[in-house]
């Protein structure tokens, strides 16, 4: 009788550890790569995802910068244009207001303005989202700013697996890629292979199949949407959850094919609902799948307000599974 073999346990990492492992892999495989930003070296970043990299790679490749987002982005643009492959860190997404001219008029446009001869392989890591009482200037989700700029790519990983794979993909891309991470996800665990691997930029993932309803979402709202889908299942509605992973470029094909199967759709994001990515995605669904829709495309997002500091108000402000279910029940009349 053949001896049964025990399957090895799946390797799990936290979201923050997956980020660290991804940056380590990039610095190992790309001698022209370096990390620069506020508190990335000595402190390993305020969120801890660069810990140990200074000791491993040295002060020439893991660099603490002055407190100047404009200077950090300028450093990244100049270094990339002259042949290096920088990973630059903008501690909070909210701070991009300090450097939007560099991002909008230099980083996003240089390759176009130089006829494709100037390569800008810049990876920007930044942190978005609310939920830990960091108040209005440290809790925003401003991805729509970036997605509106031709020349930039924008990804927002929901899981540790995607965080590692998308950072490595971003580092190998010859264009600027913003990897927008999420504070509330840092302790989340998930399966992450030890080897270096990539998650393709521009490819969505169906994380839960369903036949009655489509939820299109990204970042931490993927997990809230899956919870909502489980609740809707008890009401007889089988919900498909599409994790976009990449917002620019956007995998419209996966979204449209899902809507063609389910005939109803909702877009969910943590960002303010007004002017958010939900409006663009809803417009594309109605342009490309109008004849398949049995109801208008719904949207769930944050109210048009700064993020509150008060924990109770903040929790009321952030979209969650209960709010998704409530909106879905209205749309589906269940």
196-222 residue pLDDT tens:
999 999 999 999 999 999 999 999 999
Whether residue 3 has pLDDT greater than 70:
no
Answer yes or no: are the C-beta atoms of 18 and 163 closer than 8 Å: yes
CA 36 – CA 123 distance, rounded (Å): 11
User: Would you call 202 helix, strand, or coil by DSSP?
Assistant: coil
Claim to verify: residue 153 and residue 92 sit in the same structural domain = yes
Q: Encode pLDDT of 216-252 as tens digits.
A: 999 999 999 999 999 999 999 999 999 999 999 999 9
**Is residue 6 assigned to a domain?**
no
Give the active site residues.
Answer: 138
Residue 196, in any domain of the structure = no
Rounded mean pLDDT of the chain?
Answer: 96
In tens, the pLDDT along 55-68 reads 999 999 999 999 99
pLDDT of residue 9: 62
Cα–Cα distance measured from residue 116 to residue 152, given in angstroms and rounded to the nearest whole number: 14
Predicted local distance difference test score (pLDDT) of residue 1: 44
pLDDT for 10:
78
pLDDT of residue 8: 53
What is the mean pLDDT of the segment spanning 131-154? 97
pTM attached to this predicted model = 0.96
Residue 198 lies in a domain: no
Q: Where in the sequence is the domain holding 232, given as residue range(s)?
A: 205-332
48 and 25 in a common domain: yes
Q: 217 and 187 in one domain?
A: no
Tens-digit pLDDT profile for residues 251-287:
999 999 999 999 999 999 999 999 999 999 999 999 9
Residue 88 has pLDDT above 70, yes or no: yes
Residues 64, 158, single domain; the answer is: yes
CB 300 within 8 A of CB 272: no
For residues 143 and 70, state if they share a domain.
yes
What integer pLDDT is reported at residue 285 of this predicted model? 98
Q: For 292-308, write each residue's pLDDT tens digit.
A: 999 999 999 999 999 99
* Helix (H) / strand (E) containing 283: helix 277-288
CATH number at residue 68: 3.40.50.970
Average pLDDT over residues 177-184: 98
CB of 215 closer than 8 Å to CB of 224 = no
Closest CA relative to residue 198, chosen from 173, 233, 181? 173
Tell me how far the alpha carbon of residue 286 is from its chain's centroid: 24
Judge whether residue 4 has pLDDT over 50: no
Residues 133 and 252 in one domain: no
Of 138, 163, 191, the last residue of a domain is: 191
Asked if the structure places residue 2 within a domain, the reply is no
Q: What's the rounded mean pLDDT across residues 322-333?
A: 96
User: Do 166 and 220 sit in the same domain of this protein?
Assistant: no
Question: Which of these three, 191, 224, 254, is where a domain ends?
Answer: 191
Model pLDDT, residue 319: 98
Cis before 249? omega within 30: yes
Residues 232, 143 within the same domain: no
The domain boundary, picked from 132, 158, 191, lies at: 191
Say yes or no to pLDDT of 5 above 70. Answer: no
Helix (H, G, I), strand (E, B) or coil at 246: strand
Based on the domain organization, do 233 and 169 belong to the same domain? Answer: no
The secondary element (H helix, E strand) that includes residue 70 is: helix 69-81
Distances (CA, A) of 138 to 59, 121, 212, 268, 279: 28, 27, 38, 21, 24
Look up the CATH number of the domain holding residue 286. Answer: 3.40.50.920
Residues 62 and 106 in one domain: yes
Q: Is residue 267 part of a domain?
A: yes
Q: Is there a single domain that holds both residue 187 and residue 253?
A: no
Residue 5 lies in a domain: no
Measured between alpha carbons, how far is 195 from 310 in angstroms, rounded to an integer?
42
Tell me, yes or no, whether 267 and 141 share the same domain: no
The pLDDT tens digits of the residues spanning 22-54 come to 999 999 999 999 999 999 999 999 999 999 999
pLDDT number for residue 138: 96
Reported as a single tens digit per residue, the pLDDT across 185-196 is 999 999 999 999
Instruction: Domain count for the chain, please give it.
Output: 2
Which pLDDT score is estimated for 334? 87
Alpha-carbon distance of 334 to 327, in angstroms, equals 11
């Amino acid at each position: 009788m053949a001896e049964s073999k025990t399957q090895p346990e799946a390797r799990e990492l936290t979201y923050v550890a997956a980020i660290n492992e991804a940056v380590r892999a990039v610095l190992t495989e790309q001698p022209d790569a370096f990390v620069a930003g506020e508190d990335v070296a000595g402190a390993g970043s305020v969120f801890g995802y660069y810990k140990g990299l200074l000791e491993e790679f040295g002060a020439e490749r893991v660099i603490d910068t002055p407190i100047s987002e404009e200077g950090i982005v300028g450093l990244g643009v100049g270094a990339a244009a002259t042949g290096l492959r920088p990973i630059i860190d903008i501690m909070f997404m909210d701070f991009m207001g300090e450097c939007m001219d560099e991002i909008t008029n230099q980083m996003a446009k240089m390759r176009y303005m130089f006829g494709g001869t100037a390569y800008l392989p810049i990876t920007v890591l930044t942190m978005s989202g609310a939920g830990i009482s960091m108040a209005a200037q440290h809790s925003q989700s401003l991805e729509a700013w970036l997605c509106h700029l031709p020349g930039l790519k924008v990804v927002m990983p929901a899981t540790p697996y995607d965080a590692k794979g998308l950072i490595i993909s971003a580092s190998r891309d010859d264009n600027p890629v913003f990897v927008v991470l999420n504070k509330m996800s840092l302790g989340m665990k998930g399966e992450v292979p030890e080897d270096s691997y990539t998650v393709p930029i521009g490819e969505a993932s169906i994380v839960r199949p369903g036949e009655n309803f489509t939820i299109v979402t990204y970042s931490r709202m993927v997990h809230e949407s899956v919870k909502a889908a489980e609740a809707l299942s008890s009401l007889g509605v089988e919900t498909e959850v599409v994790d976009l992973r990449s917002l620019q470029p956007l995998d419209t094909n996966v979204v449209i094919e899902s809507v063609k199967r389910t005939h109803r759709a909702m877009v969910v994001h943590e960002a303010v609902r007004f002017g958010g990515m939900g409006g663009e995605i809803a417009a594309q669904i109605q342009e490309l799948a109008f004849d398949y829709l049995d109801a208008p495309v719904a949207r769930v997002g944050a109210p048009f307000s700064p993020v509150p500091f008060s924990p109770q108000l903040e929790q009321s402000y952030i979209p969650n599974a209960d709010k998704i279910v409530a909106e879905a029940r209205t749309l589906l009349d269940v």
